[in-house]
Amino acid sequence: MSEIKVLSLFILTALAEIVGCYLPYLWLREGKSIWLLLPAALSLALFAWLLSLHPTAAGRVYAAYGGVYIFVAILWLWIVDGIRPTLWDIVGVTVALFGMAIIMFAPRHT
């Protein structure tokens, strides 16, 4: 799988997880409808399915996924929450993405 496809799959996976967690947050903290739990559950099921599509060992996928999750969460902070990331947010995202790239794309002996 190409690097672009892997990264795109990670981004979709992160969005599914964040939406699946954000909707219950809206219900619990913002007093929104309990019916938000239904699409939240579907989104979390999609998240689990998307994780299964990655072409490497599950542990490696979970470790590398964390870096992309951090990137998408900071984008969410900016786009959905309306809070502009700080320099330190950007530095942290950069470090996390470098870690993801090392884990996923380093040469492996087979």
Give the tens place of pLDDT for each residue, 42-89: 999 999 999 889 878 888 888 888 999 999 999 999 999 999 999 999
**21 found inside a domain:** yes
* Residue 21 clears pLDDT 80, i.e. is over it: yes
Other CB atoms within 10 Å distance of the CB of residue 65: 22
**110 found inside a domain:** no
Number of domains in the chain: 1
**38 found inside a domain:** yes
Q: List the structure tokens of 12.
A: 């979709």
**C-alpha–C-alpha distance, residues 103 and 110, integer Å:** 15
pLDDT of residue 41: 98
Q: How far is residue 64 from each of residues 5, 13, 57, 87, measured CA to CA in Å?
A: 14, 12, 11, 23
pLDDT of residue 62: 86
Q: Which domain holds residue 99?
A: 3-105
**18 found inside a domain:** yes
